[in-house]
């Protein structure tokens, strides 16, 4: 524990104001990076989450330490953590290309709340250290991932007559260095013959000639058609 924070750990007016202002500042700093990147939950949302968590944490301490209520002071913070899961879940969505977005924002909201709980409890060192690590994770490591070379996913719409043929196509794609990131299968009837369709999302680990891959798949027995969706 850092000694210069000791006089601020009491639940007096000075300690209360300091905790609220510090929770406000930590939420603002985390949300600033999200707002800059135009994410669903930004500056104000993170402030409110961090501030609300700090108030909940202080309320639990006040009931137990000041009012001497015989209760578990971790119950209110525990409910806050559960509630943060619902808030964060609202920022997660799936695009038309089956790419999940909003996970980092949801995790940031959840962590902002936890930081607020730590500050509300008077554990300033943990809250400030958590803030620093969150900012490093969202900014520095985000830039590293953006600079890393990667090959974008692409989707292949496949029509075929026999179910085992799909496994042959998937194995061929893997041999070419493309992992199956997602798979959707539907079936329908045409005349007296079953016609199946599948949508494969491929994640290449190296550069792949998509035209050549399509030509090879279309040349397989049992394949009606294969095309890349733009």
Is residue 111's pLDDT more than 80?
yes
- At 147 the pLDDT is 60
For residue 227, list its beta bridge partners: 157
- At 208 the pLDDT is 86
Q: What pLDDT digit, counting tens, does each position of 143-177 carry?
A: 665 565 567 888 999 999 888 899 999 999 999 98
Please report where in the chains the tokens 């135009």 appear, as a residue: 38
Closest CA to 10 of 63, 60, 65, 51: 65
- At 220 the pLDDT is 92
Is residue 53's pLDDT more than 60?
yes
Q: What pLDDT digit, counting tens, does each position of 184-224 carry?
A: 887 665 555 678 889 999 988 888 899 999 999 999 988 99
Task: Give, for 127, the enclosing helix (H) or strand (E).
Answer: helix 124-135
- At 115 the pLDDT is 93
CA distance 25 to 33: 13
Question: Average of pLDDT values for 104-111?
Answer: 86
Within 13 Å of residue 158, how many CA atoms lie on the same side as its CB?
33
49 φ, ψ (degrees, to nearest 5) = -65, -50
Lowest mean pLDDT: which of 48-52, 73-77, 125-129, 226-230? 73-77
Q: Which domains does the chain have, with CATH numbers?
A: 3-147 (no CATH), 154-229 (3.30.70.260)
Average per-residue pLDDT in the chain?
A: 84
């Amino acid at each position: 524990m850092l000694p210069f924070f000791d006089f601020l750990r009491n639940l007096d007016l000075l300690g209360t104001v300091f905790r609220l202002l510090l929770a406000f500042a930590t939420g603002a700093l985390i949300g600033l990076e999200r707002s800059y990147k135009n994410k669903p939950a930004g500056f104000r949302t993170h402030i409110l989450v961090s501030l609300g968590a700090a108030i909940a944490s202080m309320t639990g301490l006040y009931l137990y330490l000041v009012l001497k209520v015989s209760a578990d002071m971790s119950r209110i913070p525990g409910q806050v953590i559960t509630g943060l899961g619902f808030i964060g879940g609202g920022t997660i969505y799936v695009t038309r290309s089956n790419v999940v977005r909003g996970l980092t924002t949801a995790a940031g909201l959840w962590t902002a709340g936890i930081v607020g709980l730590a500050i509300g409890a008077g554990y300033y060192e943990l809250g400030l250290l958590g803030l620093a690590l969150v900012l490093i994770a969202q900014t520095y490591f985000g830039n590293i991932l953006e600079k890393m070379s990667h090959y974008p996913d692409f989707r292949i719409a496949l029509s075929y007559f026999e179910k085992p043929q799909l496994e042959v196509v998937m194995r061929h794609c893997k041999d070419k260095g493309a992992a199956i990131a997602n798979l959707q299968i539907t079936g329908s009837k045409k005349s007296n013959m079953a016609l199946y369709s599948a949508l494969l999302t491929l994640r290449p680990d190296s550069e792949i000639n998509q035209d050549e891959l399509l030509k090879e798949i279309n040349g397989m027995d049992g394949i009606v058609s294969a095309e890349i969706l733009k």
